[in-house]
Amino acid sequence: MTQQIRLNKFLSDCGIASRRKTEEFIIQGRVSVNGKTVNTLSCVINPTKDKVALDGETIKAKRLLYFLLNKPKGYITSTNDEKGRKTVVELIDTKENIFPIGRLDYNTTGVLLLTNDGDFSNFLAHPKNKIPREYEARINKPLKLEDEAKFLKGFYIDGKKGKFVSIEIQKKDPTLVKVVTVEGRNHFVKKMFAAAGYFVNSLDRTNYGVFSHKKIPVGAYRLVTENEIEEVYKEYAKKN
């Protein structure tokens, strides 16, 4: 999403130095914007239009990348693993340093976003934005109709109350349940079912906000467009 940002943040995001160090560069008069020296920390730029230079050398803006992966089983949602297990980053063909937004369990499948945009990651994952996650859970026994209300009312999970925004039992197969939550806590869906006496045999995240894995084979991914990123900000920022 194209937006105005502070000059020191731009320099830091480009990997020049820490944000505090880049502030020193600005105060020292080593940074210019569109050919004019800037020495005030309040300077704001447009990364796509303004030309920034440090000691006369043009600084190229970091290319922000966004990937939508249909995560398969058997992958760790991390950039590396001390046990040598496969990570979701290995599934993405890029030389950029990217990271997953949030987590999906080792054997949980479905929608997972990866990026090098820290601001977008924070926006999508922050609890205050209440971005919905939709899951399809296969549980060990048919879900009782009387238990639906319990999930909507909520359970205390690790000392904090959580609930599903909605729950839908498949009529032909009541062991297949679709739930929506705005929670991002680890193992949240599985712990919710466990609190009511059910065990989740398999779990698939079908949607995360505006993103769906529809038409994306398991283990495959696609690039997310700038328009889609803007749609996320417009859809969820207005609610806060």
Structural tokens at position 185? 């806590």
Beta strand 66-71 with 44-45 is: unpaired
52-54 vs 44-45, strand pairing mode:
unpaired
Strands (E), 30-115: 31-33, 36-38, 44-45, 52-54, 57-58, 66-71, 99-100, 109-115
Q: Which of 50, 105, 119, 147 is catalytic?
A: 105
105 is catalytic: yes
Kind of pairing between the strands at 166-169 and 176-181: antiparallel
Question: What's the burial of 167, exposed, middle or buried (CB within 10 Å: 0-12/13-18/19+)?
Answer: buried
C-alpha closest to that of 112 among 201, 187, 222, 1? 222
Residue type, 99: F
Token pair of 175, please? Answer: 């062991």
Q: Which residues are catalytic?
A: 105
